[in-house]
Structure 1
């Protein structure tokens, strides 16, 4: 090998960026895959990925250290039973990062797992840059986490537009709003003229969303059924549509079997968006779906009913003015929220009547949702492209 060839090979090798990416939930897996795609578009063969991910990241070439389904654990008792194996996975994942010697570790959501890995890596090898994609909810509870993150996170990529200001206020690490992936779905959430005509027609379509996890369905189904029974008795005919996902279909079907009124159950993301496009209003369990409904410009009533232990903890630690994501993004509590003891038919039925009819509450929600495109805009860049840009900036600076 000549000196020139040797030098060229060394430069080529040095130019390759090694990134270790960790995502342990399906939503994080989708974010990770989009980020990997955006980075490959910029770096081509100049980037190599290792880490933990699911099907979407595997399609981008990642060979996961272990199946992320191992960490799909719900409920405090289940976590306690599996704690030794979870702790082993945290240790082994941190060791894998240190062995790989990447230029950067990118942790995506799942802070109970990913942040523990990040802290171990930073303590052992400060030369590895660390980026956190999806902020923990420091604005809602445990705000001290933001300042603590400065010790092991170099930059936070935020999905929500108000989060960078919260990090400044809480003296956390640098934080940039990169955009929420839902903003890329707006075209699929807004009605066509024909669908708008169905929104305005009778009987009104009410989308019913009791939750996307088995435990949520367990806690919510009874109050949803009784509320809809009373609402239909007062309001008259309603076209009820209940979107769900394949693995929860049987649980949902079993839950609605006891309802006096029967919704149409639709399965999958495309059918859910189709329901949103014709919905007059929604009756939804609090969560990301409230932001999706706001982007679809569907007025709603939001609820949350948890188990006794979760509710007890929540009352003592949650500090935000609202638990409804749509409210937090628009900066105004326009969506009524009924939590725990307030989640009863006597309070829910009047609120649902208001969002189904031409009322000040409905008008106020629609006016707030009309501003959401501007509030969540990232200009011409997609969220994944903006995230990739920040990742490359951090790599250059580290």
Structure 2
């Protein structure tokens, strides 16, 4: 065991690891608040992307090296992934930080954390963004007790899940989307467009190439059936620059061609005028719920992955909006249920003044209260727990 180190006479050193873009944004906001709290007495080291770099972090390696999707790709790159895990863990123990903050990406960050805890048990470890222990592999929660000191949860039901599963202490700090409500919700003119005919219908097939491959054909067929049935709508497809080419190729066979909008700002503008949406399940369902946009959701994947997920998933819904609200108000069509017939029928309902649409809008009206963090933004709540964990470790060591 490493000898206790005196840290009262030097600045604080915080090591952060984020390997995906969403985690990079969380890390950057956390760094901002920590610097406000600690001033020039704090130094940051670790792994991150462009957002954390703007806050002064020099990443140990480009996070693009870990942008690997799919089982075959992971197997192919496994030696490289394992090497980066070993090197990152060694960098943490060599830096001897006052705290390690791992951010999302549990397949990578938790392996690093376990190595760090084994090499130097005195380094406190905070996990920012809980793995989905409430949905699958619940045994992970109890296993985390041995190498995580505190979990910072983005979803309000997660602390109770950790308590039930006998995991480490877990605190709800809030979801970053709750800091972006002004960008998600319509102004007066946008609300007028949201209520006008023809209604704006968003189509959101996913943010990964594999998701686009699995969803675009069936989405296109469902929208074609809807148009053939005489339902009028204005179709808008938000995407990101790196996916434009894949989207354009997949749209070639669509009967109804959407207006494509590119980038985060254009996506949010589309959300503010949208009347309804057809979306791949994921975080976007929570985004739509916060925007007040009724939706139909779907998910398709390869047969092998689908078999694994069916065996593993322990919840009644895979839709984040449903899980947060605590009620299955958003219809979900998974695998063999994801058909043009079923999607088009459900879309007809959420586009019209139906019981399904009204039920969703009533449920979405409760979401602010459910996800509230009071007057403190998520990044500030997260920073307070990081600092408290660091101070507790100093007293113990």
Partner of residue 245 from structure 1, selected from 234, 240, 245: 240
1:167 matched to 2:127? The reply is no
| In 2: Cα distance, 1:359 partner to 1:237 partner | 16
* 4+ long deviations beyond 4 Å: none
Does residue 1:25 correspond to 2:20, yes or no?
A: yes
Q: 1:339 is matched with which residue?
A: 334
Aligned match for 2:203, one of 199, 208, 211: 208
Instruction: State yes or no: 1:297 paired with 2:292.
Output: yes
Unaligned runs of 5+ residues in structure 1 are 1-10
Are 2:220 and 1:225 aligned? yes
CA contact (8 A) 1:235 1:353 kept: no
Instruction: Indicate how the Cα distance of structure 1 residues 12 and 150 shifts in structure 2: closer, same or farther if over 3 A, else same.
Output: closer
Question: Cα offset for 1:15?
Answer: 4.5
Structure 2: segments with no counterpart, 5+ residues: 1-5
User: Normalised by the size of structure 2, how large is the TM-score?
Assistant: 0.96
1:100 aligns with 2:95: yes
The offset of 1:56, in angstroms, is 0.4
How far apart are residue 379 of structure 1 and its match?
Answer: 0.7
Q: CA deviation at 1:323?
A: 0.2
Q: How many residues align?
A: 388
- Structure 1: distance between partners of 2:78 and 2:172: 33
Per-residue deviation, 1:235: 3.6
Question: Alignment partner for residue 47 of structure 1, among 42, 45, 70?
Answer: 42
Contact kept, 8 Å, 2:231 with 2:348, in 1: the verdict is no
1:1-398 alignment runs, 5 A limit: 14-398=9-393
Partner SS for 1:208: strand
Kindly tell me: are residues 14 and 235 of structure 1, through their superposed partners in 2, closer, same or farther at Cα, counting changes over 3 Å?
farther
> How big is the shift at 1:190?
0.9
Tell me the distance in 2 between the aligned counterparts of 1:190 and 1:32.
25
TM-score (norm 1): 0.96
CA distance in 2 between counterparts of 1:164 and 1:368 reads 22
> What SS does structure 2 have at the residue aligned with 1:225?
helix
SS of 2:77 mapped into structure 1: helix
Between 233-242 and 155-164, report the one with greater CA deviation. 233-242
Indicate the SS of the match to 1:302.
Answer: strand
Offset of residue 14 of structure 1: 2.2
Q: Give the Cα separation in 1 of the matches to 2:298 and 2:198.
A: 24
What is the SS of the residue equivalent to 1:284?
strand
Per-residue CA distance 1:191-221 (angstroms, 9 max, x = gap):
1111111111111100000000011000101
Aligned residues of 2:16 and 2:44 also touching (Cα < 8 A)? yes
Kept after mapping to 2: 8 A contact 1:21/1:32 = yes
Provide the C-alpha distance between the structure 2 equivalents of 1:102 and 1:48, rounded to a whole number of angstroms: 9
Q: What residue in structure 2 maps to residue 7 of structure 1?
A: none
1:57-85 CA deviation, whole Å, 9 max, x = no partner? 00111010000000000000000000001
1:237 is displaced (CA, Å) by: 2.4
Cα offset, 1:132, TM superposition: 0.1
For residues 163 and 13 of structure 1, the distance between their equivalents in structure 2, rounded to whole angstroms, comes to 34
RMSD over equivalenced CA pairs, Å: 1.0
Whole-Å Cα distance in 1 between the matches of residues 52 and 21 of structure 2?
10
SS of 1:14's partner is coil
Partners of 2:109 and 2:234 lie apart in 1 by 42
Q: 1:378 to 1:259 in 2, by over 3 A?
A: same
Matched residues in 1 for 2:156 and 2:170: separation?
10
